[in-house]
Amino acid sequence: MKHSDDHIALTFLGGAGTVTGSKILISYRDQNLLVDCGLFQGLKKLRLLNWKQLAIDPKSIGAVILTHAHLDHIGYLPILVRDGYKNEMHSTHPTRALAKIILEDSGKIQEEESERANRHKYTRHAPANPLYTVAEATQSINYFVTHSYLEWVIVNNDMKFRFLNAGHIIGSAIVELIVGNRRFIFSGDLGRSQPLLMHPPDTITETDVLILESTYGDRLHPGIDPKEELKEVIWSTYNKKGILMIPTFAVERAQELLFLISLLKEENNFPGMPVFLDSPMGVDATETLFEYSDWQKLNLTARRSLNSAAQLISNARASRAIVADDKPKIVLAGSGMLSGGRILHYLDRHLGSKKNTILLAGFQAAGTRGRALVEGVSEIKFFGSYHQVKAEVRQMHSLSSHADQSEILAWARHFDQSPAFVFLNHGEPHQADGLRVKLRHELGWNPKIASMGVTYRIPV
């Protein structure tokens, strides 16, 4: 990186033209700072980028600031450490707790994948190494330094920052960063205007530079009450005397579903069938919600009924017994897009019966089994063989932890003046462009769509 006194350099090393791999490098004078350090996920072309050397030597980065604990924002940290990074990783308190759960799970998946590749010899590298190990994931957590919202943190003579609430998942943050005489706002992943469990995102009135996510930049969430949507699927499965299987993301989505179930139970709108959260990671993430009770909006009574909405299952033997039981029930289990996890054991046993229902309650990325089910395939492959899809497949559209186009615009309207520089990141090209056009027409802004690997100069 070339350094200069007359401008701040902003380089998108990921999360540009895609929703994964978020990494934004800020360089000024002789200082480099990274906002987010995410893993590329989804299509193979993107995943291969995780194996490429970073465009900057990790040893020359002075600090990392993390917006939240999702893997596409923190999942590259173990590699950064292995490649020589030795400085602080700043996050909120809950982000560190979730990061430990998420990174260690990611390390486990990486180890399992390389083991499978070696066993079936479908690798050109012999033996295949994992992208990183559980031990490397655990080690990277030691570099975390945690903060509360609104607390200013001095990074060096020219840089300081603070976290503001982003309302996306517990501990999620918008980053306000001052570099020299310039103010930067990084939206991170922006939550809904009325999140189920979190406080709505903080509003901001001024900045010189805005880096704004655009995951739902071209779309609106349907105006359906998620509780009603879930209720309908639950009752229709109950009336068939079937099993409702919900592939669930362990962080936030599992807790949102438990919260909705607790509301239905309180209103006596819930049938007499047991509910299980069969996910060690989901159980841990639910505990985090309790541990950091000040960081979300539910009161103690609501948190208690959320916690008792389901039987929480971590133990593998207990899980096997529930899988083997054919009686009506509701099961929430990972992974959310059916790429692995305990949900596959449920599908193995219960996918072949019309009585049962699979409810996809989250985004299903291209190439995943979840997406294939949504698209109506008649069979899916897992555990080495094809399985007939006889169970009913339903999708829930109303749950999302990302602001949609109208919510992003509403948040953007709080700025007193147009920021001098606006970059749209964390979106597929059509999503970012949809938002660009809207911001231009409605607010008169002139946003740029962030391009991967390109350095933008902000004069000081």
Measured from the CB atom, the residue of 70 and 438 that comes closer to Zn ion is 70
- Work out how close the CB of 130 gets to Zn ion at its nearest, in angstroms, rounded to a whole number: 24
DSSP-derived letter for residue 28 is: E
Q: How far apart are CA 67 and CA 186, in angstroms?
A: 8
Minimal distance, residue 168 CB to Zn ion, in Å = 6
- Shortest Å, Cβ 378 to Zn ion: 33
Give the residue with the Cβ less far from Zn ion, 70 or 221: 70
> Are 51 and 77 a contacting pair, CB within 8 Å?
no
| Length of the chain as a residue count | 460
Q: Rounded to an integer, what distance in angstroms lies between the CA atom of residue 256 and that of residue 240? A: 25
| 79, 88, 177 from 372: Cα distances, Å | 32, 41, 41
Is the CB of 74 or the CB of 81 nearer to Zn ion? Answer: 74
Q: In one letter, which amino acid is 440?
A: R
Cα-based distances in Å from 295 to 141, 159, 262: 21, 26, 20
How much is the CA Rg of the chain, to the nearest whole Å? 22
Q: How far is the CB of 215 from Zn ion (least distance, A)?
A: 8
Whose Cβ is closer to Zn ion: residue 189's or residue 229's? 189
Give whichever of 90 and 345 is closer to Zn ion, judged by the CB atom.
90
38 vs 226 by CB, closer to Zn ion: 38
Shortest distance, CB of residue 274 to Zn ion, whole angstroms? 31
d(CA 156, CA 194): 36
Q: Quote the least distance from Cβ 6 to Zn ion, whole Å.
A: 35
CA distance 239 to 259: 22
Closest distance of CB 67 from Zn ion, Å: 8
CA dist 427 and 240 (Å) reads: 40
* Interacting residues with Zn ion (CB under 5 A): 70, 189
Neighbour-count burial of 187, counting CB atoms closer than 10 A to its CB (0-12 exposed, 13-18 middle, 19+ buried):
buried
> Pairing between strand 209-213 and 182-186?
parallel
Q: How many CB atoms lie within 10 A of CB 4?
A: 13
Residue 124: CB partners within 8 Å, gap ≥ 6?
Answer: none
Beta strands in 320-440 (DSSP E): 329-333, 357-360, 379-382, 385-388, 392-395, 421-425
| Smallest separation, CB 205 to Zn ion (Å) | 24
Q: In the complex with Zn ion, which residue's Cβ is closer, 189 or 256?
A: 189
**Closest to Zn ion by CB, 27 or 95:** 95
The one-letter code for the residue type at 430 is H
Q: What angle do CA 255, 258, 260 make, to 5 degrees?
A: 110
CB of 359 to Zn ion, least distance (A): 22
Question: Which two three-digit tokens encode residue 19?
Answer: 């929703």
In the bound state with Zn ion, the residue whose beta carbon lies nearer, of 70 and 147, is: 70
What is the smallest separation between the CB atom of 381 and Zn ion, expressed in angstroms?
29
Q: Which is nearer to Zn ion, 100 or 231 (CB)?
A: 100
Q: What angle do CA 12, 136, 52 make, to 5 degrees?
A: 35
Determine if the peptide bond prior to 280 is cis (ω within 30°).
no
Nearer to Zn ion among residue 70 and residue 342 (C-beta): 70
CB of 171 to Zn ion, least distance (A): 11
How do beta strands 153-156 and 159-165 pair?
antiparallel
Sign, CA dihedral 413-416-418-420, equals negative
